[in-house]
Chains A and B, each alone.
Chain A
Amino acid sequence: MTDNLPQRPAKPVLTAGDSSAPLTVEKTRNQWADVWDQFKTHKGAVFGLFFLIFITLFVTIGPVIWDVDPGKLDIRNKDVRPIYIGLVDSSAKVSWGNPMGTDNLGRDIMANIMQGGRISLAVGWTAMILTLFLGTTIGVLAGYFRRLDGILMRFTDLVLALPLLPLLLVMMLLFRDPLRAAFGPENGIFILIVVGIGITSWMQTARIVRGDVMALKEREFVLAARSIGTPARRMITRHLLPNVLSPIMVSATLGLATAIITESALSFLGLGFPSDFPTWGKILFDSVDRMTSFPERVIWPGLAISLTVLSVNYIGDGLRDALDPRIRGL
């Protein structure tokens, strides 16, 4: 991206009737500064970034400030409605001690949303990194080594033809108990979900990376690098990987969004984390039975999932524009 494109002169100033060469007023800039400048022009992406930072702080720093144990039962304070209900209905049971209300066992919903968000985001990020690792490895290998291309891409096509959601459900159900026994109830399920999502969603990344690597391989700078005897390993790490970074980053945002949604879907189907272990999907699933009287309990976690995924998708949109040198600076 940087090493083979001529640096665009920033802001050529052309004045009518002036035949002299266009002046460049700004000094040469770092590529990432350019990307950031373009990214800033995308309002949705900036908003998404802010929301993602906010929700990350909310779930990481939040429990430090809001020091309530999410699992603590307090039967006397059960079924407290969120604080805003008190404004419209003065007879409703509200309490400043539980601003988002409590559930049917008196557990504080805000503490649960924070704790659940930690798990959901942790699953999302880990699964996304695993997806990227698998996708990039397979994509680079297939794109760079012609011998591996046929077999790896055939394999990718085969995996794409698998019905992934049912298989993921099968995996969750069948491998739950042994992994739980081996790594403990929470870690076992965490590993299972992350690995499950990872091995069912790397295919798009692999295809994109392979295509880009194949196109890059024909470029002169690769030929030059090869002519001075660069070994394949350094060829990939020094010359190819930095140049496929932008499609990888865009698919990272997509991967994060799908991972969060998939984890919540699994929890929603009752096949995710154990019931005393909140995640956003799990809280939503547990509240569905009582949503007639307490609609807020499904809306909080649902909003958290949807807004997080929405902001991640917007970030991806902005990144795609910002990383595309053809439209940068327009």
Chain B
Amino acid sequence: MLTYTFRRVLISIPTLLFIAFVIFMLLELAPGDPMASMPLTIPPEVRQEMRLALGLGEPWYVRFPLWLRQFFVVEPQYWIDNAFGTNFADGAQRIISFQSRSPVFDTIAQRMPQTLWVVGMSYVVGVLIALPIGIISAYRQYSVFDQAGTFVSMIGFSVPPFFSGVLLIVIFSVQLKWLPSIYDTTHVVDDWNSFIFQLKQMIMPVMVLALQTTAQVSRYMRASMLDNLGQDYVRTARAKGMSESVVVMKHVVRNSMIPVVTVIALGIPSIFGGAIITEQIFKVNGLGQLLIIALQGSDIPMVMTITFLLAVLIVMMNLIADILYGILDPRIRYD
């Protein structure tokens, strides 16, 4: 298992390098110009100097290794310096945003908590709703509950977040006036009332994202439960006289969770993708919104860094899913 883990970590390094290269070259080959939004009155020679100042003078085979060095060496150094008061970085050049001229990672660090709150909460809520639905649907296969569960998950697959979000706003903010339609990120929770307000403004974005998660996870849970319910060990457990709740909750659910846990791990990156749209609807100033703004302003370092961070997340979750699978299921041996 350890060798396998080690090998997988080693394999993911070239994968990440390749992904970084693909993103870099896509941005490089694209004809978008970061100077396009500058005033037209700037004379061409000044414009050229500004391009050089942005670091665009060098060819790609110089800038790509430089970016890699900044991402993997310089930025962690700054992070360690900040955390422990050391001086590893020694004033090295950080990744600077074209738009704000401030380090990219500072902006990302400011935006991260909002996204993590909404996305993380929605994922937890989604999974918590999905598991019981999956379990009951499988246990009472073809019952009314099962049919309803199938229908709800079909809706979760089919209704895009930009419609479910807008629909929720129309119903709960416009018609009923129960919930605020805009997520206020400057809101500070310090007493009961502000906590209630925070809860209210989180309900809609969280539920929109959770619907997608629920649809997916409950289907997997149901399928996995159905596979296990027909197994011989279930009959053995019943024959031994175990109560039905022990059979289902202890034996079947635990075994069914093995593939579902990996699905849950693999779904985390895609929920971040969904957050891009949800943040746009509820005006959450998180990472997704940052990405859209950076894209529109041709802010190449910012786009590159956020996209690559997402890629790191995907590769990491794949790795975790594979390793978890091996740990949870003793029948699977990778070596």
Interface set of A (CB-CB < 8 Å, partner B)? 44, 157-158, 161-167, 169-171, 173-175, 177-178, 257, 261, 264-265, 268-269, 271, 281, 284-285, 288, 291-292, 295, 298-299, 302-303, 305-306, 309-310, 313-314, 317
Alpha-carbon gap, A157 to B315, bound state (A): 10
Alpha-carbon gap, A306 to B276, bound state (A): 19
Given contacts A264-B160, A302-B166, contact A170 B31 (CB under 8 A): no
**CB of B303 within 8 Å of the partner chain:** yes
Q: Which of B157, B170, B276, B280 contacts A295 (CB 8 A)?
A: B170
Shortest CB distance A320–B (Å): 12
Question: Mind listing 16 A-B residue pairs with CB under 8 Å?
Answer: A161-B314, A161-B315, A162-B19, A163-B313, A166-B276, A170-B295, A173-B295, A173-B296, A265-B160, A288-B281, A298-B170, A299-B167, A302-B163, A303-B163, A305-B163, A306-B158
Please state if B277 and A158 are interface contacts (CB–CB under 8 Å).
no
Q: Which of A175, A284, A295, A299 contacts B162 (CB 8 A)?
A: A284
Interface of A (DSSP majority class):
helix
Q: Which of A163, A265, A271, A303 contacts B269 (CB 8 A)?
A: A163
Please state if A178 and B273 are interface contacts (CB–CB under 8 Å).
no
- Counting from the closest, the 7 A-B pairs by CB-CB distance are A174-B30, A302-B163, A163-B310, A310-B158, A165-B273, A309-B158, A295-B170
Alpha-carbon gap, A164 to B273, bound state (A): 8
Additional pairs, 6, CB under 8 Å, beyond known A264-B162, A292-B174, A298-B170? A161-B315, A166-B306, A167-B307, A169-B291, A170-B307, A314-B154
**CB of B73 within 8 Å of the partner chain:** no
Of A292, A303, A314, most B-chain CB atoms within 10 Å: A292
Shortest CB distance A257–B (Å): 7
- CB neighbours of A170 from chain B (8 A): 23, 26-27, 30, 295, 303, 307
Q: Give the nearest-CB partner of B166 in chain A.
A: A298
Interface set of B (CB-CB < 8 Å, partner A)? 15, 18-19, 22-23, 26-27, 30-32, 154-155, 157-160, 162-163, 166-167, 169-170, 174-175, 269, 273, 276-277, 280-281, 291-292, 295-296, 298, 303, 306-307, 310-311, 313-315, 318
- CB neighbours of A177 from chain B (8 A): 31-32
Interface of B (DSSP majority class):
helix
Q: Which of B22, B281, B292, B306 contacts A162 (CB 8 A)?
A: B22
Alpha-carbon gap, A311 to B158, bound state (A): 9
Please state if B19 and A265 are interface contacts (CB–CB under 8 Å).
no
Please state if A174 and B158 are interface contacts (CB–CB under 8 Å).
no
Shortest CB distance A39–B (Å): 17
Q: Give the nearest-CB partner of A317 in chain B.
A: B154
Shortest CB distance A174–B (Å): 3
- CB neighbours of B32 from chain A (8 A): 173-174, 177
- CB neighbours of B160 from chain A (8 A): 261, 264-265, 305-306, 309
Please state if A169 and B30 are interface contacts (CB–CB under 8 Å).
no
Please state if A313 and B157 are interface contacts (CB–CB under 8 Å).
yes
Shortest CB distance B158–A (Å): 4
Q: Give the nearest-CB partner of B171 in chain A.
A: A295
Please state if B273 and A174 are interface contacts (CB–CB under 8 Å).
no
Alpha-carbon gap, A309 to B158, bound state (A): 5
Given contacts A292-B174, A295-B170, A310-B155, contact A165 B276 (CB under 8 A): yes
Please state if B277 and A268 are interface contacts (CB–CB under 8 Å).
yes
Alpha-carbon gap, A165 to B280, bound state (A): 14
- CB neighbours of B22 from chain A (8 A): 162
Please state if B292 and A178 are interface contacts (CB–CB under 8 Å).
no
Q: Which of B158, B162, B174 contacts A257 (CB 8 A)?
A: B158
Q: Which of B158, B167, B276, B310 contacts A269 (CB 8 A)?
A: B276
Q: Which of B167, B169, B175, B310 contacts A166 (CB 8 A)?
A: B310
Please state if A302 and B167 are interface contacts (CB–CB under 8 Å).
yes
Please state if A163 and B273 are interface contacts (CB–CB under 8 Å).
yes
Please state if A269 and B292 are interface contacts (CB–CB under 8 Å).
yes
- CB neighbours of B18 from chain A (8 A): 158
Q: Give the nearest-CB partner of B167 in chain A.
A: A302
Given contacts A161-B19, A161-B311, contact A291 B169 (CB under 8 A): yes
Alpha-carbon gap, A284 to B24, bound state (A): 33
Alpha-carbon gap, A8 to B319, bound state (A): 44
Alpha-carbon gap, A281 to B166, bound state (A): 12
Please state if A265 and B277 are interface contacts (CB–CB under 8 Å).
yes
Shortest CB distance B205–A (Å): 15
Please state if B154 and A310 are interface contacts (CB–CB under 8 Å).
yes
Alpha-carbon gap, A41 to B262, bound state (A): 34
- CB neighbours of A173 from chain B (8 A): 32, 295-296, 298
- CB neighbours of A157 from chain B (8 A): 15
Please state if A291 and B291 are interface contacts (CB–CB under 8 Å).
no
Shortest CB distance B265–A (Å): 14
Of B31, B162, B273, B303, most A-chain CB atoms within 10 Å: B162
Please state if A265 and B318 are interface contacts (CB–CB under 8 Å).
no
- CB neighbours of A291 from chain B (8 A): 166, 169-170, 174
Shortest CB distance B28–A (Å): 10
- CB neighbours of B313 from chain A (8 A): 163
- CB neighbours of B15 from chain A (8 A): 157-158, 161
Q: Give the nearest-CB partner of B307 in chain A.
A: A166
Please state if B31 and A174 are interface contacts (CB–CB under 8 Å).
yes
Alpha-carbon gap, A162 to B277, bound state (A): 18
Alpha-carbon gap, A314 to B18, bound state (A): 38
Alpha-carbon gap, A57 to B160, bound state (A): 23
Alpha-carbon gap, A225 to B295, bound state (A): 54
Of A158, A177, A269, most B-chain CB atoms within 10 Å: A269
- CB neighbours of B23 from chain A (8 A): 162, 167, 170
